Amino acid sequence: MKRIFYYVLFFLHIGPLINARSFMISCSVPYWRCELAIQTVLKHMGIFDQVNPFSYEVNAQGLLKDTFKRKMPYWNELHTKCIRRKVPFIPTIFWTHTEDMHNVLSDAIKLKNHTTEILNLVEAHKLDGININYERISSKDRPHYLSFLQDLSKELHKRKLELHVSMGGRTSDSTIGLMNVTKPKTTDLLPVALSSLQPEPLKTQPITSVSLSPGSGKEALHYKKVIAECCDQVHIMGYDEWGTPHKYDEEHLKSEYYISHSSNQWIEQILTYALTYIPRHKIVLGLPTYGLEFTILNEKGKITYKKKRNITCPIATELAHAHKKKPLRTHGGELSFTYTEGTDTRYVCYLDAQCIKEKIALVKKYRIKGINIFTINGNEDYILWSVLEKELLSSSLK
């Protein structure tokens, strides 16, 4: 009887429960599937404390591009619903062109105009803030970028609005790779046809991160100080780990290859590192609803892999069924399988609701602010909704 009462409370009085929740559940809403994505978010609106439309983009002159067509009725419906429910509506600005960013960040006039345009956008649309996701910034532009964040933060805070920043997961100042890795046996990792070949040594990977590195010495100290002080939320991307294989249970995927997209071990390491300089109440872990598919290649007698595509949980499930493969749980918590397509050997790893549930447990363990589901677009594991509803109820009743 008591359980029934709690569920009635959940569905009828979701607003008060949101305000009392012990940690935040937010979501990114993509422009490339916006109508279906918005329908999905509206259907489950009671779950979310914050909505982050993804995304505006930026042209070569530093002017904003309305990629997701903000004036369309379906966006207005979502924004209106957020206002009524007092759910912050904070769009993301996404920029990845290194040279264009340099030309704007290093030019005082262009940078001032860029900052002003962002502020005008926020005020014109009555937004609750903005999320800056600038990837592949050159290290030479680090000082300019930090000055930009300081100025933007100051102006937003004058207006009682928030500045969020998104960055790629890192395990140290110098790497994004999973550290302290043990090299698995070759025969445990490779498809039988490739077992005579050697994979690349497993070590801290010199992978180029999409996020700006802190630098070293005084540069790193300044970077960390600015990020920690200027940002109201720092969204750590808990995905795109791939390229950092690690040891797994010997019973898992014998004679198959293993790399990961978002392993639990890596998540713990990126959170541990983030907590060395970012206040825990500002850290938000980005959790993907998609996975990756790779082609395994033999290049000069060594095994490498090439990313083929992103793949959603429903499509990965259908693909496994079509090839009569049973996805197995990796040591990192993901589902995975291999299959052949013509002469290609393919490897698929992806996240289902169980995997996301385990990562929510890590968020609680490290007592950070919460999670951002990247993305909600109608292609997530349908079981995810029951996981989030149970989590909402659990957090709200504490």
User: If we measure between CA atoms, which residue out of 359, 367, 366, 365 comes closest to residue 388?
Assistant: 359
User: If we measure between CA atoms, which residue out of 106, 114, 107 comes closest to residue 130?
Assistant: 114
Residue 378 is predicted with a pLDDT of 94
The low-confidence residues of the chain, meaning pLDDT below 50, are 4-18, 181-207, 245-255
Domain ranges, ordered by start, for the chain: 2-289+355-396
> ∠ CA(93), CA(95), CA(100), 5° rounding?
135
Residue 258 is predicted with a pLDDT of 66
Architecture of domain 2-289+355-396: Alpha-Beta Barrel (3.20)
CA distances from 35 to 75, 126, 187, 231, 350 (A): 8, 21, 46, 30, 24
Count the Cβ atoms, other than its own, within 10 Å of residue 353. 18
Residue 179, both tokens: 């550290």
Phi then psi dihedrals of residue 216, to 5 deg: -140, 165
Residue 254 is predicted with a pLDDT of 47
Residue 20 is predicted with a pLDDT of 53
395 touches 23 (CB < 8 A) = yes
Residue 148 is predicted with a pLDDT of 99
Residue 279 is predicted with a pLDDT of 98
149 touches 231 (CB < 8 A) = yes
Residue 243 is predicted with a pLDDT of 55
236 touches 271 (CB < 8 A) = yes
